[in-house]
Every structure is written in structure tokens, then in C-alpha cells.
Amino acid sequence: MAALGAFHWMQTCMILLLCLSEPLPAASQNNYYETLNVEPTATDSQIKKSFRKLAMKYHPDKNKSTDAEKTFREIAEGKHFLVNF
């Protein structure tokens, strides 16, 4: 019985380790592509174009919702991260 309990405990540990070992930087980069609504294969100019479109929609001057300000910050951050000047 005790051996069986230990086995389950080990299995739980293994699953946790697998989840924690996900490469985090890659994941956040993919989120930026999603935020900017472009494919990971998009070129700099495609990213800039999509950014301008989204920035116009979510700019705090144009969109008064608090959500929009947060989204605007995210797309600005994403563009900064993905486009190399």
C-alpha cells in the first residue's frame, strides 16, 4: 500500500516537472505574436502594419475603456520586443 502511494506521488512530481520545464521565453514571444495578431513568420513590416492598426483601435485617446489601455500597453511592448530597429 505504502509503495503504491509513493508511486503516485512520484508520478505527480514528474508531471509537475514536465509542466515547469516548458521554455518560458519562447512562450512569451508567442504571446506577443498573438497580441499583435500576426503569424510567428511575419516580417518586421507586417508586424508594424498590424501594430498601427491595433494601436489606432486601442489608443487611450481613441478608446476610453480601461481594458483598451492595458491592451495598448501590451501591443506596444510586443512591437518593441519583436521588431528590431
Positions that interact with ligand NAG (CB under 6 A): 57-58, 63, 65, 67-68, 71
Cell matching residue 6: 509513493
Amino acid at 76: A
| Minimum distance from residue 43 beta carbon to ligand NAG (Å) | 25
- Longest Cα pair distance anywhere in the chain, in angstroms? 65
| Minimum distance from residue 35 beta carbon to ligand NAG (Å) | 12
Shorter beta-carbon distance to ligand NAG: residue 68 or 83 = 68
Q: What number of other Cβ atoms are within 10 A of residue 32's Cβ?
A: 19
Q: What number of other Cβ atoms are within 10 A of residue 63's Cβ?
A: 15
| Minimum distance from residue 65 beta carbon to ligand NAG (Å) | 5
Shorter beta-carbon distance to ligand NAG: residue 29 or 71 = 71
